[in-house]
Amino acid sequence: MITRSFSSNKKSFLYCLEEIKEQIEIKCRTFDFLIFSIHPSYPVNDINRSIKKVFKTDNFIAFHAIDSFMDNEILEEGVGVYVIKFERKGEINKFYIDEFNKINAFKTAQYLNENKDKFHLIFAAHKDIKVNNFIENISKELNYYPINNIAGGVASGYKINNELRTMLFVSDKIIKEGIIILSFENVKGEVGISLGYTPYGITYKITKAKDNKLYLVDEGKSFSYMIKKLLKNIENPDIRYLWYVPIYVLTDKNSYVSAIRTVKNIKENCVEFFANVKEGHCFKLSFATYNELLASNEKIANKLIKKLNNPEFSFNFSCIARQYVLEEHQKDEINIYTKTFNTHLFGFFTFGEIAPGIKYKKLMFYNNTSIPLIMKEI
């Protein structure tokens, strides 16, 4: 498998594509599949039509991303593309759904169960907490072990004309709520989970919660009150300050869990997170410096390369909150991956990450996490 990444930041989406096509023709000549990252500022209705016009293929998908990874660089505004050319028996199949509900979760799980020998990339369109619930419902229906062949992320964007642009694009379809799965056949793949946060202090038990809202811990203590105290002496506090101290989930009823939950909002009676929290789970407050996050990236990257040497494909799903905590060291994360994997890297800063649990017994939804993966054609 041959991979390359290209980008353009022209103001016109069509001009971006034409510049990228010229780059591909010079460097690659031909391709089998294209994965596009597209800044949400470009007109939505032009995307599928323009890609098909310029590249004359249906072998592509696209997703919104505020910032995407192009080898050692971060593309802040523009269009990026990951070009894939198979050299042996590799193939990519597409599967997608355009509504988050239990029936579609069952269909998706059934698809994954039937294709457990393939390696799957999941791209999700953002729809508040629904995407987290959808992933949990899929996980309940998966019937194989270990679940070590799935990784993904939620498209990132913002509102334009009161429309949230965290969308997906496939063929003639614009997906505003749903997922696309790219299933790689005849490849070996490995996925890693890089946290980097260290839990500190008291262990709390969640005693009242619903979806992504945490109300009470321990014997009726208001978690909202506790979090407000952390910001008490800070003038004009920004909610993102709390991204440095997310909660670190420790256990649930079935298996060990290591998952970060990042604060989204503080209300009078609850704290909202970017993903679900559940009654009965325990957690600690955690903290990380950029050095600790990068050390975790390096540890996971070295672990992956020992399992699969000489990879030909590498991807990183990394959280927007992690981007904030890394500060001016954001490029260091992808530099670690490109140096360790020695291949062209693609990916983006996400609104949530999808990957196996630590013990590979379930599929989980993460926050403030980097999910690197590598593949190699067989």
- Give CA–CA dist 236/169, Å, rounded: 39
Paired tokens of 214: 């945490």
Cα dihedral 156, 211, 180, 112 sign: positive
The whole-model pTM stands at: 0.95
pLDDT band at residue 127 using 50, 70 and 90 as cut-offs: confident
Asked if 120 and 349 count as a contact pair (C-beta separation under 8 A), the reply is no
Task: Report the candidate in 370, 368, 318, 344 with the shortest Cα–Cα distance to residue 66.
Answer: 318
Residues 110-134: what's their mean pLDDT?
A: 95
Residues 163-174: what's their mean pLDDT?
A: 93
Query: What pLDDT score does 373 carry?
Result: 98
Give the CB-side neighbour count of residue 121, counting CA atoms within 13 A. Answer: 26
Paired tokens of 49: 């039509």
| Residue 256 pLDDT > 60 | no
Asked if 369 and 322 count as a contact pair (C-beta separation under 8 A), the reply is yes
Q: Apex CA 82: angle with CA 149 and CA 76, to 5°?
A: 110
| Residue 338 pLDDT > 60 | yes
Query: What pLDDT score does 255 carry?
Result: 45
Residues 125-143: what's their mean pLDDT?
A: 93
Residues 345-351: what's their mean pLDDT?
A: 97
| Residue 337 pLDDT > 70 | yes
pLDDT per position as a tens digit, 142-164:
999 999 999 999 999 999 988 89
pLDDT per position as a tens digit, 303-319:
999 999 999 999 999 99
Q: With H, G, I as helix, E, B as strand and everything else as coil, classify residue 113.
A: helix
- Give CA–CA dist 219/204, Å, rounded: 10
DSSP string, 314-351: EEEEEEHHHHHHHGGGHHHHHHHHHHHH-S-EEEEEES
Residues 104-126: what's their mean pLDDT?
A: 97
Residues 250-256: what's their mean pLDDT?
A: 56
Residues 13-36: what's their mean pLDDT?
A: 95
β-strand partners of 85 = 2
β-strand partners of 325 = none
Query: What pLDDT score does 171 carry?
Result: 85
pLDDT band at residue 254 using 50, 70 and 90 as cut-offs: very low
Residue of 66 and 172 predicted with greater confidence:
66
Query: What pLDDT score does 1 carry?
Result: 96
Q: Which domains does the chain have, with CATH numbers?
A: 2-194+291-377 (no CATH), 198-287 (2.40.10)
Residues 33-40: what's their mean pLDDT?
A: 98
Residues 127-134: what's their mean pLDDT?
A: 90
Asked if 207 and 216 count as a contact pair (C-beta separation under 8 A), the reply is yes
The position carrying tokens 């500190």 is 200
Beta-carbon contacts of 11 under 8 Å, excluding residues fewer than 6 positions away, are none
pLDDT per position as a tens digit, 2-21:
999 999 999 999 999 999 99
Average pLDDT, the chain: 94
Paired tokens of 145: 């072990």
DSSP symbol at 360: S
Paired tokens of 363: 């599929």
Lowest mean pLDDT among 146-155, 213-222, 244-253, 347-356: 244-253
| Residue 59 pLDDT > 90 | yes
Residue 119 CB: number of other CB atoms within 10 A? 24
